[in-house]
A and B are shown apart, each in its own frame.
Chain A
Amino acid sequence: MTEASPLLDVSGLRSGYGGVEILRGVDLAVRPGEIVAVLGSNGAGKSTLNNTLSGIVRAHGGSVRFAGEDVTAAGSAAIVAAGLVQVPEGRRVFPDLTVRDNLLVGAYRRGRAHRARSLERVHAVFPRLAERERQRAGTLSGGEQQMLAIGRGLMAEPRLLILDEPSLGLSPKLVDEMFALVRRLHADGLAILLVEQNVAESLAVAQRAYVLENGAIRLSGAAADLAANPEVRRAYLGL
């Protein structure tokens, strides 16, 4: 059995803001259909990693290949067009736009031809969004806004979905629902890069995981192995 070639292949990635280097040589891969978790505490460089992958922060060095193409120097629009879509931390929905308009903007760069079908699909996954179609996004609850942010990401028909802290700020019940949703999207064949502080739940849902510390990958391997790793258990699971 040969291993599928990676959908996302990151090697030696360095980046940061202004003159400050935050990522100091990150190697990471996601294969088609895989859920990969990136774990790390606040300030480890998780959001910088996401924003570099999405073309919002420019890489200082190293390379990012997506679906066989070098996208290291590509801008955010080209990266979305290629099918690498990020659902950002803090949702970043468009507060003045209706729920429906938010979703339609999700298909602005990619997936426009199948927009009606994608809208039905998102409504099937999140019936709440269908109910609130004409409501302004700014009036939704935090959990609903998180649904909307994910739904907006799905509208672009992603080949790889980056979820940045999807459980942040949600009630425990909604956190469980969120991870159930991640499983469901994965079961439909979507590759997911899950960037989370919730280490226990992330390791339970992911196949492989990376631990990011001080801008570099400290540990990596099968999620089950990392969950059993004494260092991970002590530092991240409080056991």
Chain B
Amino acid sequence: MPDATILAAALVNGATQGAIYALIALGLTLIYGVLHIINFAHGAALMAALYAVLLLFTGLGVDPYVALPIVTAGMFALGYALQRMVIGPASHGRDENILLVTLGVAILLENLALVAFKSDTRTIDTPYAFATVDVGGVLIAVPKLAALGGALAMTAALFWLIERTDLGRAIRAVAKERQGARLCGIDVEHVFALCYGIGLACVGAAACFLLPSYYVNPTVGGGFVLIAFTVVVLGGMGSFVGALVGGFVVGLAESLGGLAGITLGWGENMGQLGIFLVFIAVLLFRPQGLFGARG
């Protein structure tokens, strides 16, 4: 057995990673739940946001946490415009078209990044990159703690928006009954674009929390989006609570799986195995996901 501090550190790591996964998955599940499309451009959007954070830091000296409102707003605007001007018009109302259009956007973004930044993996050096705080004998890296707090705050804000505001009610109305929503005077195309924008804003926020302790290259989004899809399916397609809980489940499974692998001498790659063991176990017993509706 590993000692308690190592276990506690793994739990904190898992929770932090889980909060980031949850944030990315919330954007994905919002887009799926309302627009009924699987957003293949989600990973590429994360990559673009990470480069935005990188450029703001290296070019203008803007700290990633200070860049949060800029990158979040910028990603929202990008998402709104993409849905309104590219994805919506190009799809002609057919779901398989939308799927291909989002895939096309992803390929375009990744190759633009390759042209602009080459395939180098890049990181940023912040003064607090290796700073730690002592929480009851467990040393926690400051960027991890900021990521955990920030992702939770963003998630809370998103829940408030969806559950408590008029716009949130309109979004939930459009998700299940477009025609009824139109007859209430809701501009459905505007709501679609808002949701796509909010989905990418989540990714923008995740990028700001991620980069101080992570890296960026043109294909960095792929790994995250695979896990985000896992989270969304695990939690139940279209469920916000499911995305939040699923994010933490996956983050903890990854971190504790890695710890178990190291302890048993199987190597640290066991984290990925942990994710998919939990995933398969959940789907065996609840095929609709933890919080998904049946049928």
A residues sitting closer than 8 Å to B (CB atoms) are 54, 56, 75-77, 79-81, 85-88, 91-97, 101-102, 104-106, 108-110, 112, 152, 156
How many pairs of A and B residues are in contact by the CB < 8 Å rule? 72
Contact A106 B172 (CB under 8 A): no
Of chain B, the residue at the smallest CB distance from A152 is B184
Q: Are A105 and B181 in contact (CB under 8 A)?
A: yes
Closest A residue to B186 by beta carbon equals A108
Which parts of B169-203 form the interface with A (CB within 8 Å)? 169-170, 172-173, 175-177, 179-187
> Does A108 lie within 8 Å of B182, measured CB to CB?
no
Among candidates A56, A95, A96, A108, residue contacting B184 with C-beta atoms closer than 8 Å: A108
Residue from A102, A104, A105 with most neighbouring chain B CB atoms (10 Å) = A105
Residues A88 and B187 in contact in the complex (CB < 8 Å), given A96-B175, A101-B169: no
Provide a sorted-by-A list of 6 A–B residue pairs whose CB atoms are within 8 angstroms: A56-B182, A91-B180, A95-B176, A97-B172, A104-B169, A108-B186
Q: Is the Cβ of B177 less than 8 Å from the Cβ of A93?
A: yes
Looking at chain B's contact residues, the main secondary structure is: helix
In the bound complex, what is the Cα–Cα distance between A87 and B179 (angstroms)? Answer: 11
The answer to whether A77 touches B185 (Cβ under 8 A) is yes
**A80 to B181, Cβ gap below 8 A?**
no
B173 touches A77 (CB 8 A): no
CB A157 to nearest CB in B, in angstroms, measures: 12
Q: Which residues of A contact B177 (CB under 8 A)?
A: 92-95
Complex CA–CA separation, A136 to B182 (angstroms): 20
- Which residues of A have CB within 8 Å of B181? 94, 105
Distance in angstroms between the alpha carbons of A234 and B46 in the assembled complex: 67
Check if A105 sits within 8 Å of B173, measured CB to CB: yes
Extra A-B contacts (9), CB below 8 Å, given A80-B183, A105-B170: A56-B182, A77-B187, A81-B185, A94-B172, A97-B176, A101-B172, A105-B173, A105-B186, A109-B184
